[in-house]
Amino acid sequence: MRENKNILLAEDDENLGKLLISYLQAKGFHVELAKNGKIAYELFNNTKQKFDLLVLDVMMPEMDGLTLGTEIRLLDTSIPFLFLSAKSMKEDKLKGFGVGADDYITKPFSMEELLARINAILKRTASNEKNIQEKIHVGKIQYEPELSVLHLNEGPKKLTTKENMLLKLLVQNQNDLLDRQAALRAVWGDDNYFNGRSMDVYIAKLRKLLKEDENIEIMNVHGIGFKLLVKQ
């Protein structure tokens, strides 16, 4: 049994939600319940609590599980999550794995099976974390996201909270498109016009910081988003 692990459960069925909370808490987990996908996203993005695993229902109001999983992957490429769904067709499962899920469980399921799958995912995650370096190389520049520090030629540069959150998203999506609206919701909490202008200012600041490596470019994809391009 794995104790002191925090699980975010997104489930709109009140009875099933209570049943899952009761069972998982009895097994030593702390469980935070969100009654729809939108609340789950806000909890994951805004809470100071760190979650170790997400359990997401696929069919939910406000924001469905597949959309939620996609949005969460933009925020965090490593957080493990699994889907719960009454949809059992192969195509449905492939959609789930396609957005980055670690597992997909069809309803009805036994509590013992859910626990076994959760423990298997957490075991893999713990093994992977041992291999994660504290310092990330962005081109020739060292970056420590947990400390919000860039190691530049002139010395360590402490990033602001928003600079660090934005750079972390760009690095997680390196050489791929970072969706503009998703980044705004992740860092600013809202994708309105004024926050968009603010983000453009922060992108300019990051470009200035990263310019000492000529192989790094933050490319603007007009009206869509940004790409952090790092030439090998």
Residue 194 and residue 118 in one domain: no
- Boundary of a domain, candidates 76, 105, 129: 129
Q: Which residue has the higher pLDDT, 7 or 74?
A: 7
Residue range 106-116, pLDDT digits in tens:
999 999 999 99
Distance of alpha carbon 116 from alpha carbon 126, whole angstroms: 15
Average pLDDT across the chain, whole number: 89
- Boundary of a domain, candidates 129, 163, 184: 129
* Structural domain includes residue 208: yes
Residue 111 and residue 217 in one domain: no
CA angle 11, 13, 18 (to 5 degrees): 80
Confidence band, pLDDT 50/70/90 cuts, at residue 60: very high
* Structural domain includes residue 120: yes
* Structural domain includes residue 91: yes
> For 46-70, what is the mean pLDDT?
90
Confidence band, pLDDT 50/70/90 cuts, at residue 77: confident
Q: Are 72 and 79 in contact (CB under 8 A)?
A: yes
CA-based nearest residue to 178, from 215, 137, 229, 144:
229
Strand order of the β-sheet with 216-221 is 177-179, 225-230, 216-221
Residue 188 and residue 97 in one domain: no
Q: Residue 201: give the domain boundaries.
A: 136-230
Residue range 164-193, pLDDT digits in tens:
999 999 998 889 899 898 889 888 888 888
**Crossing angle for the helix pair 65-75 and 90-98, nearest 10 degrees?**
20
Residue 125 and residue 160 in one domain: no
Residue range 186-206, pLDDT digits in tens:
888 888 889 999 999 999 999
- Boundary of a domain, candidates 113, 129, 145: 129
Residue 14 and residue 99 in one domain: yes
The whole-number pLDDT of residue 182 equals 86
The whole-number pLDDT of residue 83 equals 96
What does the H/E/C string look like for the chain? CCCCCEEEEECCCHHHHHHHHHHHHHCCCEEEEECCHHHHHHHHHHCCCCCCEEEEECCCCCCCHHHHHHHHHHHCCCCCEEEEECCCCHHHHHHHHHCCCCEEEECCCCHHHHHHHHHHHHHHHHHHHCCCCCCEEECCEEEECCCCEEEECCEEEECCHHHHHHHHHHHHCCCCEEEHHHHHHHHCCCCCHHHHHHHHHHHHHHHHHHCCCCCEEEEEECCCEEEEEECC
Residue 167 and residue 213 in one domain: yes
Residue 171 and residue 99 in one domain: no
Residue 10 and residue 117 in one domain: yes
Residue 59 and residue 153 in one domain: no
* Structural domain includes residue 1: no
Confidence band, pLDDT 50/70/90 cuts, at residue 1: very low
At residue 75, does pLDDT exceed 90?
A: no
At residue 131, does pLDDT exceed 50?
A: no
Residue 13 and residue 121 in one domain: yes
Q: Which amino acid is it at 58?
A: V
**Domain count for the chain:** 2
Residue 122 and residue 145 in one domain: no
CATH of the domain at 165: 1.10.10.10
Strand order of the β-sheet with 6-10 is 30-34, 6-10, 53-57, 81-85, 103-106
Q: What is the pTM of this model?
A: 0.64
The whole-number pLDDT of residue 66 equals 95
> For 216-231, what is the mean pLDDT?
93
